[in-house]
Amino acid sequence: MRFRRRRARPAAALARRDRGHARVRERTGLHPARALRRRPRAARTGRARRARAPRRRLALPRPGRGACAVRPDAARSRRGRGRPARAPDELEDVALRREQQFAALGFEPDDLKQAAFMAETGNELIGSLGYDGPLAALAPRANLADYLHETVAVVTNPAIDREREIEHFSTRALLGPRPFPGGRGGRPTRRWVELLTPILLGGHAPETGLSSDDFRKLARERGTWLVEDVVARFTAEAPRVPVVLEADRDWEEHPRDALARLGAQACRGVRAGARLVVVQDKHVFTEGRAWLDPLLVVAAAHRALGAQRSGAGSLRRQCALIVTAGSLRNLHDLMVALGLGADAVNPYLLLEYAIATSDPDALPNLVEALRKGIEKVCSTLGIHELRGYGRQLSAIGLAPDVAKFLDLETFYGDAGLGWERIAEEGFVRASKLRERTEARIEPAFRIWPRAWKAALSVANGEAAYSTYAERLRELETAHPVSLRHLLDFTRPLDGEPAPPADTRAGEHAAPFYISSMSFGSQGETAYRAY
């Protein structure tokens, strides 16, 4: 019996006879051949196959051999890594499983609050007092994205006003090989997928009970694709199936070694003909695996592919890089993933949270709010095209060797997040994902709610201002949330005169001190004070 490869098709067909051939197409399910002789039924999941067989007989692969299964990497399948990972049996309730993932992957109550607001209104939640929680370097636990910040001078008006210049913005993304500038590198092929927004839908695990097919219409309306359809497209049309990089590592493997291995795996696959690299975190549930931040894997793959030269420039120009991860918690995480090299993102856990509201408008609103947020970030940086957004990032509290790996600048990183702490976090989070008990999402420390009562007492004339100042000083000393809480004046020793301070700024004897960032942001009282 001979099999030949056919183009992958949507999972909606049955087995039937056609001119002496048996066609068996993909669909979830498995039935013996004798049951298909009288009544066609769904075959097992996999790629469409056509087999030559005697008349009136259906030729199906032997059970367990997986001849019809989609196998991105045969070697991984033989090691047991190609099958979908299952959550612990004790967590039958999908909601409990999702809460456990939220807690293990670093979600905070504010992340869910923002997601709920976006799902309800289609807009971002805007706060007037800013963020009063700790910097990542001062927090007891933080994701890698929390250490990274856009490098930009925030002014009253953005570089490009999204509200008044909306027609200039584009959040388009192209997935696939890119033509080489100047026409070199052979005849360009148009085997790419165009997205109007870089947010891919779908990517839900079987345990959630969600079918990605239900969101295909919404994806089409929003100008995006399902992550499953992207994989199927590049599986059918590329010389080699997509490269799948799992964001986990062996318990004994160092994070740097794991990232080097994953980068080399991406290069081998693309050089062999793959046109898509997928970073995912589906198999961290497997016992003996440690969690690895998908953002690190994205950076490793992007860096390795860019360093490998080929006839068309670099291997990075020959493929698309997408990430599907539950640790993408908010807009900032999405922008960090795009900045580190991803072409599109699939925050499946965030999407599931919107779907769980049972509101048919929740998921469309969430996608629209995230798209608007992407435009706002680009406008602040003076970028009108998302494809012009690159590594516009700097770090606070990230160790220099990790920052060098990510190819960005870091500040106050001597005792910051290093490889050893990254390794320890991987153990802790993987264990939390596999725990058989309910998890709790830990809120971040907030300084203003704790100082509010003292401030209100002063405002009502019930206490002296010194009471509020003392309370605030206690909080800033015990729970510093900003760099200014770690700084203080240099005080001379007893009996020693204080050395004169140098306040010169360029050719000026002293800088011009002003409380607000510009005159335009002041009220009349503050303005007249000058």
Residue 354 and residue 464 share a domain: no
Residue 453 and residue 420 share a domain: no
Of 434, 469, 495, the one marking the end of a domain is 434
Inside any domain, residue 80 = no
Residue 458 and residue 383 share a domain: no
Q: What is the pLDDT of residues 346-383, one digit of tens each?
A: 999 999 999 999 899 999 999 999 999 998 888 888 78
Residue 250 and residue 127 share a domain: yes
Q: How many domains does the chain have?
A: 2
List CB contacts of 65: < 8 A, sequence separation 6 or more: none
Residue 224 and residue 140 share a domain: yes
Residue 460 and residue 368 share a domain: no
Inside any domain, residue 8 = no
Residue 392 and residue 463 share a domain: no
> Alpha-carbon distance 103 to 329, whole Å?
11
pLDDT at residue 74 tops 50: no
SS (HEC) of 345-397: EECHHHHHHHHCCCCCCHHHHHHHHHHHHHHHHHHHCCCCEHHHCCCCEEEEC
Inside any domain, residue 1 = no
Residue 404 and residue 303 share a domain: yes
Inside any domain, residue 59 = no
pLDDT at residue 105 tops 80: yes
Inside any domain, residue 58 = no
Residue 141 and residue 266 share a domain: yes
**% the chain with pLDDT above 90:** 47
Inside any domain, residue 235 = yes
Residue 288 and residue 359 share a domain: yes
pLDDT at residue 14 tops 50: no
The pair phi, psi for residue 149, each rounded to 5°, is -140, 145
Q: What is the pLDDT of residues 167-176, one digit of tens each?
A: 778 899 999 9
Inside any domain, residue 206 = yes
Of 434, 469, 492, the one marking the end of a domain is 434
Inside any domain, residue 42 = no
pLDDT at residue 31 tops 60: no
Over residues 242-268, mean pLDDT: 96
Which two structure tokens, joined as six digits, stand for 446? Answer: 């907030």
> Alpha-carbon distance 526 to 96, whole Å?
52
Identify the CATH number of the domain in which residue 202 sits: 3.20.20.70
- Cα–Cα distances in Å, from 323 out to 10, 88, 188, 201, 343? 22, 24, 25, 12, 8
- Provide the domain limits for residue 463: 447-483+506-529
Residue 241 and residue 300 share a domain: yes
> Alpha-carbon distance 301 to 258, whole Å?
11
Residue 424 and residue 471 share a domain: no
Bridge partners of residue 149, in order along the sequence: 394
